[in-house]
Amino acid sequence: MHPTTNDERSGTHGVNAKSIGSLKWKNAKKDTPALHLEEVAFTAYYPADVNKNSKKGVPWFIRPLKESLQGFAAYLGIRTWLLWPVIYFFGAFLKIPAYPNAPLLDPHKAGDEFGDVPEQWPLVIFSHGLAGGRTVYSQYCSRLAASGRIVLAVEHRDGSGTACMPRSWNQQGRSEPRTVLYIKEADIHLDDSDKIDEHPIPLRGHQLTFRRHEIYITYSAFSRLLRNDFDLELDTIDGSPFPKKSWIQTNVQGKPRVNFSSNIVLAGHSFGGCTVLSLLSTSPLEGYPALPVSQAVMLDPWLEPLPSPGPAPFSCQSDEQEVTKVMSSAGDELKPLPIHPRMLVINSETFTIWKDHFARLQEVVAHWEPNGGHIMTLVDSQHVSFSDFPILPIIHKRAARPILETIIKLSLGFLDDKLEETLEQVPTTPLEIKIVEDLMGMQACNLQNLPENYTMKYYLYHAMTWPGLSYVAEDHDGRIVGYILAKMDEEDTVEPHGHVTSLSVLRTYRRLGLAKKLMVQSQEAMADIYKASYVSLHVRKSNRAALGLYKDTLGFTVKDIEKGYYADGEDAYAMHLSLQGDHSIKSPDLSFAGETGERALRGLEGGLLVTPRLFRIASLTSFAEVNPNW
C-alpha cells in the first residue's frame, strides 16, 4: 500500500426511501422492488491535519467480515467455506494507510508536498465498477487526495458491489442494517414495460438510474455539510465521531475549505465510467441542480449498458450562461463558453483490443474531445489493474504497481492541466499497424519449428476474423521469435469457445515464459472479448514439453484422444481449459529475464510492449497512417 498523508472517513446520509426502476425480486412472495434507495454512503479521502498522536490504519474489507465473505461468495458463485480463510486473513491484517476521522487540513497550512495549493481543495466524486466498493480503489483515491483533493468514493448500494448494509431513516430513527449482496440477472425479473432501447442490459440500466440518484444526493449532502446545514442528517458508518468543525470552517477569504460550487471532477472505473457517461449525457434529476463538472476521468469505461447511438453531452447551462460570451483572441468574434466537461479515458489493453467496443468508445469520446488525443491505452494492463486487487499482499504481481503508478500520473497530469508534460515523462511507443509483416514472421517461425504448416491465406483469415486473439513475441530488434494463432469456434450446437490453432517459440528463446504468456494473453482475450466459456487445442501425444505446459502449467485437461489426427498418422490429445471464473489469476509476470535483453509481446493490431508503456491511440481498427508525433 502507498503511504499518504491523506485521511479516510466513511459517512452515510439518510434519504426518503423509495424504489428505483421496475425490477422485482424473482423468488419473493410478493412483488418486492429489487432496487430500494434508503441511504447513500461514501468514503472521503482528503488531506488530513495529523499529529504525532494520530493513528493510521483503516480496514480494507467492510465490517462485519461475515458480510464481506457472503458478498464475494455471491459474486464469484462459490461456497463461503472456500473463501473464509482468505477473507478472514486479509480482514485481520489488511489496512488502508490512512488516518480515520482526522481533521481536514486547512489549505493555507499545507506544505510543499501538495504543490501549488489552491485557496480551496478541489472536489472529486468517484464511482466504482462491478464488485467494487468505497475501499476497493483506495490506492487511486488516496493518491488523488495526497495531491491536494477531496475524493468522495461512493458506495453504490444498487447490488453492483459485493456487499453493503443500508439502513432506513425515519421519524423513529434508523433501522437495523439489511445486507444487499451482488445482484445477478437470474435474481430478478423485468416489468413488461421495460424497453430494450432504453436499457440494452435491463439490470444495468436500472442500476445506472439508481447510481445517478446516489451521486446527486452525495453531492447535495456534502455541499450541505460544508455550508453547515443544521437540518442535514449525516453520520459515520460505525457511529464514531468526526471533526465536523474542520469541515465547516472557512478560509481567510471567507470561502469553504472545499470548492463544491465549481470545477468538480467525476471519475469512475468500468461500470463507474459508464455511470459518469450516463450522468453527463442526461438531464439533472428532478429537484437537483446540474453538477458543476469541469473534468471527467474514466478508467476502462464499459459502454454496453448505455443506449446506442450515444451517449452524447447534455447541455445543462443556465440561461445566463448560454448568453454569456467571451471575446476570442483573434479579434471581435464571439466565442461561447465550453458547455461540457473535458474528458480523459485510460483503457486497459484488454478493452482496447475489444474492437467493436473500442470503435464505439472513440465515437463517444469525440463528442467531448473533438480534437482527439484523450484515449490512452496501457500496454499489458488488465481490466482489474485500476483497482487495489493486483497489489494486495501475497497475490500481488510485480508489474501491477508500475501500471497503477502510470494510471495515477496520467490522471493527475490531466487534472492539473499538465497532461502533455506528463506524457513526456512516461515511456510511450508509437502505434504501428503492420499485420502483414507480423503474419510473415509468424509463418517463418512456424516453418522453422513445426511440421504442421499453413498457407498465408490461413494466417490472414485468423487475423481478419479474430484480430484480438493472435499475438506475437519479438526480441529487442523487432524479430518475431514466437506466436500464438487462435480463433473462436462459434457453432450453434455448442457453447462459444476459443481454439488455439498453433503455438510456437524459437528454440533459443524457450524457457523464458514466452509460451505461457502468449497462451494467457490469448485466453484472456477470448473470455473478455468473445465471452468464451472454454478454450480447446490439440497436441501430439509424443510432444511431452507441450503437454507439460498445457497440463501442468496452464491447467488444461485431456478430454479425448483423436486417432490419426495429424497428417503423418500420429494421435492427438484433445485438451480443454475452462475460462469461467477468474481466468486472469494465472497471468504471469510481465517481464522476462534472460541474456537476450528485453522482449515484447504484442497483438497483431499494434505494438503492445510487455513492459508497462503507454499508447496514445489513433485507431486499432484502421490501416490508415498513424501520426508520427504519437
Helices (H), 21-126: 65-76, 80-93
Quick check: 189 and 24 in contact, CB under 8 A? yes
Which CATH fold topology does 18-57+97-316+337-425 show?
Answer: Rossmann fold (3.40.50)
Quick check: 577 and 555 in contact, CB under 8 A? yes
Structural domain spans, the chain:
18-57+97-316+337-425, 432-578
pLDDT confidence bin for 359, thresholds 50/70/90: confident
Residue 13: per-residue pLDDT: 58
Per-residue pLDDT tens over the stretch 391-439? 887 776 777 888 899 999 999 999 999 998 988 887 665 544 456 667 8
* pTM score over 0.85: no
Q: Specify the DSSP class assigned to residue 314.
A: P
The share of the chain scoring above pLDDT 70, in percent, equals: 79
Domain 432-578 = CATH 3.40.630.30? yes
Please, which residues have CB within 8 angstroms of residue 520's CB and are 6 or more apart in sequence? 554, 586, 587, 588
- Residue 405: left (phi > 0), alpha (psi -120 to 50), or beta? alpha
pLDDT confidence bin for 373, thresholds 50/70/90: low
Per-residue pLDDT tens over the stretch 88-130? 777 777 888 888 888 999 888 876 666 666 789 999 999 999 9
Residue 55: per-residue pLDDT: 81
Provide the β-strand partners of residue 480. 474
Instruction: Using DSSP, state whether 573 is helix, strand or coil.
Output: strand
More confident residue, 331 or 38: 38
User: DSSP for 316-344?
Assistant: ---HHHHH-EEE-TTSS-EEEPP-S-EEE
Alpha-carbon gap, residue 623 to 604, rounded angstroms: 12
The share of the chain scoring above pLDDT 90, in percent, equals: 32
Residue 11: per-residue pLDDT: 55
Residue 192: per-residue pLDDT: 64
- Residue 349: left (phi > 0), alpha (psi -120 to 50), or beta? alpha
In this structure, the dihedral spanned by the alpha carbons of residues 250, 255, 261 and 266, taken in order and rounded to 10 degrees, is -50
Residue 4: per-residue pLDDT: 38
Number of neighbours of residue 36 by Cβ within 10 angstroms = 17
Query: Angle at the Cα of 53 (from 52 to 59), degrees rounded to 5?
Result: 110
Please, which residues have CB within 8 angstroms of residue 288's CB and are 6 or more apart in sequence? 216, 217, 220
Q: Which residues of 489-513 are buried (b: 16+ CB within 10 A; e: fewer)?
A: eeeeeeeebbbbbbbbbbeebeebb
Alpha-carbon gap, residue 96 to 562, rounded angstroms: 53
Alpha-carbon gap, residue 221 to 13, rounded angstroms: 7
On the question of pLDDT at 335 being above 50, the answer is no
More confident residue, 122 or 81: 122
Whole-angstrom distance between the N-terminal and C-terminal Cα of the chain? 33
170-174, 288-292, 334-338: which has the minimum mean pLDDT? 334-338
Number of neighbours of residue 100 by Cβ within 10 angstroms = 20
Residue 323: per-residue pLDDT: 31
Instruction: Give Cα 521 distance to the centre of its chain.
Output: 18
Per-residue pLDDT tens over the stretch 121-163? 999 999 999 999 999 999 999 999 999 999 999 999 999 998 8
On the question of pLDDT at 2 being above 70, the answer is no
The closest of 184, 124, 122 to 154, measured between CA atoms, is 124
Residue 66: per-residue pLDDT: 82
Q: Specify the DSSP class assigned to residue 526.
A: H
User: Per-residue pLDDT averaged across 279-298, rounded?
Assistant: 92
Omega of the bond prior to 243 within 30 degrees of 0, cis? no
Q: Which residues of 169-200 are buried (b: 16+ CB within 10 A; e: fewer)?
A: beeeebeebeebbbbeeebbbbeeeeeeeebe
Quick check: 526 and 579 in contact, CB under 8 A? yes
Query: Angle at the Cα of 350 (from 498 to 488), degrees rounded to 5?
Result: 15
Residue 56 grid cell: 493510521
Per-residue pLDDT tens over the stretch 488-528? 986 766 788 999 999 999 988 888 888 898 898 889 888 87
Q: Is 135 exposed, middle or buried (0-12, 13-18, 19+ CB in 10 A)?
A: buried
